[in-house]
Amino acid sequence: MIIKSQIAVNLPNILTFLRFILTPLFLIFFCIYFFSAEKNFFGIFAIFLFIVICLTDILDGYMARKKGVASTFGMYFDVSADFFFRFSSFLLFCFLKIIPFALVVVYSIFFIEFILMSKINTAENIIPEISIFRKSAPILYMLFIGVVILKDFFPDSISGLINLSAISYALAIFTLLAITEILVFFSLRILRREILQ
């Protein structure tokens, strides 16, 4: 019973840790898929790994909240796993000249800003309102990675219309809006505090 209880408590973190393991595998199979003539087999396996990674991302947070075992460590562990997968994927896509380097830079800034603001909010016991930009950004990142993988599986009539570079810049601009929004919120909070003093 004790072992089962410990597994139940640690399962969200185990799922998160699984993303760290699956990410290098995904990158390897995507590279093989990108350079190989046997695109179907390796592409399907890359898609399978991507789906598993997405599912673990959804389930770890859900299970932590449902079982009441959510923790600060779990939150940062989850965010770190997300960053590791997305940053590694974007860096690989950039190396393969699929997307521009700008998206890698902007996403890195977004992650650093999130960590810094989270620490400040935790220290000051503040729960900021999460806007549509910040809620949507992680979902859009994963959808974009999915589009990159699936692009060659679409019919030519559809695949030819997908401009990954243009989508990358649009996503970078969207991310900058999310960053700007939280900085404005933080600045207004400081200004309000100064006025009240």
Q: How confident is the model at residue 68 (pLDDT cuts 50, 70, 90)?
A: confident
Q: Which two tokens stand for residue 192?
A: 């309000």
Q: How confident is the model at residue 46 (pLDDT cuts 50, 70, 90)?
A: very high
> According to the model, what pLDDT value does residue 2 have?
44
- Asked whether the predicted pLDDT for residue 188 surpasses 50, the reply is yes
> According to the model, what pLDDT value does residue 8 have?
45
- Asked whether the predicted pLDDT for residue 93 surpasses 90, the reply is yes
Classify residue 85 by burial, with Cβ atoms within 10 Å: 0-12, 13-18, 19+: buried
DSSP 144-181: HHHHHHHGGGS-HHHHTT--HHHHHHHHHHHHHHHHHH
> According to the model, what pLDDT value does residue 9 have?
52
> According to the model, what pLDDT value does residue 1 have?
47
71: DSSP letter: -
Question: 11 or 37: whose pLDDT is higher?
Answer: 11
Q: List pLDDT tens digits, range 117-141.
A: 777 777 666 666 666 777 788 889 9
Q: What's the farthest any 2 CA atoms get from each other in the chain?
A: 67
Closest CA to 64 of 47, 81, 49, 50: 81
- Domains of the chain in start order, with CATH, are 2-196 (1.20.120)
Alpha helices in the chain (DSSP H): 2-35, 39-66, 72-95, 101-123, 132-150, 156-159, 164-196
Question: 12 or 120: whose pLDDT is higher?
Answer: 12
> According to the model, what pLDDT value does residue 7 have?
46
> According to the model, what pLDDT value does residue 64 have?
79
Q: Which two tokens stand for residue 118?
A: 């989270």
Closest CA to 52 of 8, 85, 5: 85
> According to the model, what pLDDT value does residue 116 have?
81
Mean pLDDT of 80-91: 94
CA R_g for the chain: 19
> According to the model, what pLDDT value does residue 65 have?
79
- Which residue is it, tokens 């809620």? 135
Q: How confident is the model at residue 39 (pLDDT cuts 50, 70, 90)?
A: low
Q: How confident is the model at residue 179 (pLDDT cuts 50, 70, 90)?
A: confident
